[in-house]
Amino acid sequence: MQVAVQGGYRTILGGPAFSTFPEQMLDFMGADLGIAGQAETSLPMLLEGPDHPDPTIAGLVWREGGAIRATPPSLPGYVGVSPDWSRLDHRRYRRSLFQAAV
């Protein structure tokens, strides 16, 4: 995702691959920031916060002084949350060669 900030845009990464290898993915993709782990709380905090990285945000990975820094991710799970599977057309996924995270 790209978000507008004063003086341009920042690229923010996330998702399963980024959560598995956050520092490596940030470096490989040349992105500015990323959120490792569950981002339901962290991403809104990042988007509503200042233009500089806030190290109190769980799972935040960013560049600072030529180094990649990271805070521990938030991994509380989805206790009490049930997905609405009726919104997906499962027939299309069953016909494919593989299934991927949605």
pLDDT digits (tens, 9 = 90+) for 13-23: 998 889 999 99
pLDDT digits (tens, 9 = 90+) for 41-93: 888 898 887 777 888 999 999 998 889 999 998 777 666 666 677 777 777 76
Residue 64, CA distances (Å) to 17, 25, 37, 98 in order: 22, 16, 21, 39
CB atoms within 10 A of CB 69: 13
Give the per-residue pLDDT at 89.
74
pLDDT at residue 3 greater than cutoff 80 = no
What is the model's pTM?
0.69
Could you tell me whether strands 33-35 and 8-13 are parallel, antiparallel, or unpaired per DSSP bridges? parallel
